[in-house]
Structure 1
Amino acid sequence: MRQFSHLVFYFCEGEYDIIQTPQIFRERVRDLAKAGYTGVELMVRDAQYVDIAMLQSALKENNLKVSAVGSGKVYTQDHLCFCSQYASVRQRAVQRIKNHIDLAVELEGNPPVILGSIRGGEPDVCQCGMLNVEDCLRQCAQYAAEKSARIAVEPITRLEISYINTVQEAVEMVERIGVSSLGIAIDSFNLDLEERDVSEAIRLAGKHIFYAQVADTRRYYPSWGHFDFDGFFKALKETGYQGFVGVEPEEYENGPVEDAKLGLEYLKKNYGDMI
């Protein structure tokens, strides 16, 4: 049976200007468990602030696992990225990811750390910037290998970032770095915007897939729009990927809890056995 997870944000007291109490986090996790999810995709801004004991307790109480650890807030809120012209910024970005990796190895199931926005979103990344990105990815991959952890680079639409937009570009980067701890995270939303053939792109990613995310058209819950989930899951099955599929909406029609439930009901009914 295919396992599905849902994005949940982890913020905590002391983490700059955003506060989320343990109670609020537990309530969100409990809602997802009640909806039928078996995992949560954890979005973390700074792993040094994560209360691992509280996190593990909340997961255990609800029989959930962490499917992946996201890093997008490191860039979107703290503006740390791999393509910066400043070595100090790049070093801080790499250290944040190392902290994310340290968190991941404390969690059951060896969830991958997703590297998407942290690459940096400058519209015109020069060759020097690309070399910086590759160097930072290599540092993170080597650290992950030392920790027996995994990291996954995510192709992101050119509307948000100017490079590594397609699966082909991600595969080339992963194979050029050549460290087994580095793979790819595929996202249906980005694939739909950037790939000529979504199914073929998934097959191309193949053995490199460490994580898969889904959302429907315009980032709504699965079944809201017209994305070809049949083709997506058929191709994913062909790759042999056995891990979680993370549901990652950013727009809501009925509110986060109800949309999470509706999306999961659709996925389970149509693709729960497609593994």
Structure 2
Amino acid sequence: MRFGFSTNAFRQYDLDEAIEVLADVGYDGVELLFDQPHLYPPEASDEEIEAVRETLDANDIAISNCNAFMLTAIEDFHHPSFVEEDESYRRRRIEYTLDSLDTAAALDAGHISIEPGGPVPEGRSRDWAMDTFEEGLREVLARAEEVGVDVLVEPEPDLLIETTGEFLELADRIDSPRMRCNFDAGHLFCVGEDPAEAIETLGPYSPHYHLEDIPADRTHEHTQLGEGGMDIDGFLETLDDTGYDGFVTIELYPYEETAEETARGAMRYLEEHGWV
């Protein structure tokens, strides 16, 4: 398996600077934040996209994933969502995701990750939210099939799809081969699951993994590797045993003030524990 690091921790850096730092640290891949201040698909020009390609090539680093989950350019990264009460408001998330697919295709990236529906609006049922999410997702998947990019739904605590079982329920409803899973180990730990055990179930749907540590009380707080309560090595051993040869991206977005130091610290953990 190969390791990447997400630029959502590097919001205080220009994207090209973040890519250069992560290549220098020794990561094989970089997860591109599809949001301001990095590469924001609704506004990204052909020239900007080409400049990203050139920076990646110059630093001999691959795209591990395109993060179309966080979206602060409009509001905060859970809004707008696919399940907003206001149809015109949720339309903004759908249009953004369509633009993200086009940008990923222009970069020859294999997938984007998206939020799993967003918070269920107060006064609305889960059934309504699932139906509304499915409607938007099907439109997005039609574009994904056109451009040849997978859409990775990422289960997250307190959003519509939180658990392994809820993702499988969604997979039963959606028949597109482009709808897959962004397996975030910390998120599953937060909702009481054992991420290592979940690999057997979600692995067939998961071409990409997120990894961070989480406090022992399972609070949803992305924490430096080795400083929380997760069995990081047990998870990676289980994943390695499956023969997985794709990317595991370290996602530590709360560490904006120390992004480079944090990326280096995560790499030290991986090196000291024999993963790189």
Q: Same fold (TM over 0.5)?
A: yes
* Residues 10, 43 of structure 1: 8 Å contact kept: no
Residues 1-275 of structure 1: pairs in structure 2 closer than 5 A? 2-9=1-8, 24-45=14-35, 46-50=40-44, 51-74=48-71, 77-78=74-75, 79-108=79-108, 110-116=109-115, 119-122=117-120, 124=122, 125-126=124-125, 127-158=127-158, 161=159, 163-217=160-214, 218-252=221-255, 255-270=258-273, 272=275
Q: Which amino acid aligns with 1:179?
A: S
Instruction: Evaluate the alpha carbon distance shift between residue 76 and residue 184 of structure 1 in structure 2; reply closer, same or farther with a 3 A threshold.
Output: farther
Q: Which amino acid aligns with 1:181?
A: R
Q: Please, what is the CA RMSD of the aligned residues?
A: 2.6
How far does residue 137 in structure 1 lie from its aligned partner after superposition?
Answer: 1.4
2: CA distance, partners of 1:247 / 1:271? 16
Alignment TM-score, normalising by the size of structure 2? 0.84
* Residues 9, 256 of structure 2: 8 Å contact kept: no
Secondary structure at 2:64 match in 1: strand
Instruction: Evaluate the alpha carbon distance shift between residue 251 and residue 75 of structure 1 in structure 2; reply closer, same or farther with a 3 A threshold.
Output: closer
Provide, for residues 71-129 of structure 1, a one-character-per-residue CA deviation record: whole Å limited to 9, x for no partner. 23337843321102333223332121111111111224x33111116x22246442222
Instruction: Evaluate the alpha carbon distance shift between residue 10 and residue 228 of structure 1 in structure 2; reply closer, same or farther with a 3 A threshold.
Output: closer
2: CA distance, partners of 1:146 / 1:9? 28
Q: Which amino acid aligns with 1:84?
A: E
Secondary structure at 1:74 match in 2: coil
Q: Which runs of 5+ in 1 are unaligned?
A: 12-17
Instruction: Evaluate the alpha carbon distance shift between residue 232 and residue 198 of structure 1 in structure 2; reply closer, same or farther with a 3 A threshold.
Output: same
Alignment TM-score, normalising by the size of structure 1? 0.84
How far does residue 253 in structure 1 lie from its aligned partner after superposition?
Answer: 10
Instruction: Evaluate the alpha carbon distance shift between residue 236 and residue 175 of structure 1 in structure 2; reply closer, same or farther with a 3 A threshold.
Output: farther
2: CA distance, partners of 1:252 / 1:149? 29
Provide, for residues 207-256 of structure 1, a one-character-per-residue CA deviation record: whole Å limited to 9, x for no partner. 10121011112412212233111221233234443211101013449921
Secondary structure at 1:48 match in 2: coil
1: CA distance, partners of 2:59 / 2:25? 11
1: CA distance, partners of 2:169 / 2:82? 18
* Residues 7, 30 of structure 2: 8 Å contact kept: yes
2: CA distance, partners of 1:244 / 1:188? 13
Provide, for residues 118-168 of structure 1, a one-character-per-residue CA deviation record: whole Å limited to 9, x for no partner. x2224644222221111111221222112111010011012xx2x211022
Identity %: 26
